[in-house]
Amino acid sequence: MKKLLSILATVVALVALGVTTLSAATPTDRSVKILIMPDHLDWNYKCGEKPVFRVLVLKHHSPMQNVEINYELSEDNMPAHKSEKMVLKAGEGKIQLGTMKVPGFLRCEVVVKDGDFSYTGWATAGFDVEKIKPTVENPADFDEFWKRALEESAKIPMEPKLTPAPEYSTGTYTAYYVQFQTYKKSVYFHGLLTVPNKPGKHPAVMRVPGAGVRSYAPMTELPLDKFVVLQVGIHGIPVNLPKEAYRNLSRGALYQYNRFNIQDRDAYYYKRVYIGCARAVDFLSELEWVDADRIAVCGHSQGGALTYVTTYLNPKVKYYYAHYPALADLTGYLHGRGGGWPHLWRNGADANIDKAAALKTIPYYDVVNFARRVNVPGVMACGYNDRTCCPTSMFSVYNVVSSPKELALYNEIGHWLYVEQEHERSKWLQEKLK
């Protein structure tokens, strides 16, 4: 009975924190839960140590009896090197993970079938994570390349246009749809701007987007009666089109845009995106409502990547907050370890890409090389179970940052956020920009 009570107490605590998920998307509560608990509370180990993971399978919050589990062990985002079955008599067992000889991450995935449904849980051990180094090269002319690109784009007038968005406006703030030229003539960024109705100049936050094509709504995690907030779209299309239009673009003209012209560093899709983000800060800083000395940038995934990029390219950015940055250490898979989204050359993919040419482009766009050059305070938020932006790639970013930095680590999360994390980001930004 004491053992069962101990198990249940652990379950209550872990479920409250959302330790397990059914998928890599938003956490979903289901009747069967799989809890995987490393024997180090911080999930961190030294190279050569051998973690033991405790597994607990529950149904209706009670341990499942004689339940068969299938588990796989793998290095971060790499193919499994061990797959086995185990029967847990009282819903509980232990899995020996082995070890790693070099800094990185070792993941355990457990699958349970119950009736017509299959359930999955993950946990990931980190090994000397502070020693993870990037694989991507650091070009000697990196700064010159981007300085020249910024100078060329500065010759293009922004010609900003603000259109009221009454459907998003309230008694405390006013919303606008915006557009402005960025990289070349007739190359536009579009976005959604919210401005406090209270007179005066206010701190400003620019939110850069995650991957995909979509519309935008106000960023209500921040007090919009006190902050000017600009959310930008990167694809040169309005951000208030019907959902069907974005769906058609994502499946058609913009499908796999992250690979467009990757063999040419001057024509790669992200060049206009990166320059556009830098110019968006200029647009924001010149608004009559904005205190140009109090500007921050934030974003998730692709937006986490663009957060680092924008912070380096525009010195008007004073703070940044990057959630699980993508586009990081893109050459990882070529070195036998996990690489960042969009997972170039993973498991033999991208055979149609000229690798030699792409490898001349990638170093100029890899977030690692922007992060090593940022010189303002910031935060990186991430989790060890992220399989979209794998932690190996994200720590390749974090470890090269030399300016003041903070790590907001929720070990158990995948490629999603808790509400508590959004609250932490809002609190941090408000404190820094007050």
- Report residue 144 CA to chain centroid gap: 27
pLDDT for res 287? 98
Percent of the chain beyond pLDDT 90?
Answer: 92
Beta carbons of 425 and 319 less than 8 angstroms apart = no
pLDDT above 90: residue 100: yes
The Cα 383–Cα 105 span in angstroms is: 12
- How confident is the model over 89-104, as a mean pLDDT? 96
Close Cβ partners of 244 (under 8 Å, ≥ 6 residues apart) = none
If you average pLDDT over residues 269-284, what whole number do you get? 98
Is the omega angle on the peptide bond into residue 342 within 30 degrees of 0, that is, cis? yes
Strand 319-323 relative to strand 378-382, pairing: parallel
* pLDDT at residue 30, rounded to an integer: 85
What pLDDT does residue 28 have? 59
Q: Calculate mean pLDDT across residues 200-223.
A: 96
So what's the pLDDT on residue 212?
96
Checking if the pLDDT of 10 tops 50, the result is no
* Rounded Cα distance, 359 and 349, in Å: 15
User: DSSP string covering 239-284, please?
Assistant: SSS-HHHHHHHHHTTTTTGGGTTTT-TTT-HHHHHHHHHHHHHHHH
Q: How far apart are CA 11 and CA 18, in angstroms?
A: 10
pLDDT at 24 over 70: no
**The pLDDT of residue 13 is above 90:** no
CA distance linking residue 286 with residue 111, whole number of Å: 53
Per-residue pLDDT at 9 exceeds 70: no
Overall average pLDDT of the 323-336 stretch: 98
Predicted confidence band of residue 89 (pLDDT cuts 50, 70, 90)? very high
pLDDT at 132: 98
Q: Residue 173: CB partners within 8 Å, gap ≥ 6?
A: 194, 195, 196, 197, 218, 224, 225
Give me the percent of the chain exceeding a pLDDT of 70: 94
pLDDT score of 213 more than 70: yes
Q: Is residue 19 pLDDT above 90, yes or no?
A: no
Q: What pLDDT was estimated at residue 337?
A: 97
In this predicted structure, which of 27-41, 361-375, 413-427 has the lowest mean pLDDT? Answer: 27-41
The rounded distance, in Å, linking the Cα atoms of 240 and 100 is: 48
Summarize pLDDT for 25-73 with one digit per residue, the tens: 455 578 999 999 999 999 999 999 999 999 999 999 999 999 999 999 9
320 in Cβ contact with 433 (< 8 Å): no
The pLDDT, as a whole number, for residue 366 is 98
Mean pLDDT of all residues in 273-299: 98
User: What is the average pLDDT value for the chain, to the nearest integer?
Assistant: 93
- Domains in the chain (CATH in brackets) are 21-129 (2.60.40.1930), 142-433 (3.40.50.1820)
Average pLDDT over residues 343-371: 96
- Catalytic residue positions, numbered: 301, 386, 415
Mean pLDDT of 205-231: 97
**HSE on the CB side for 33, CA within 13 Å?**
24
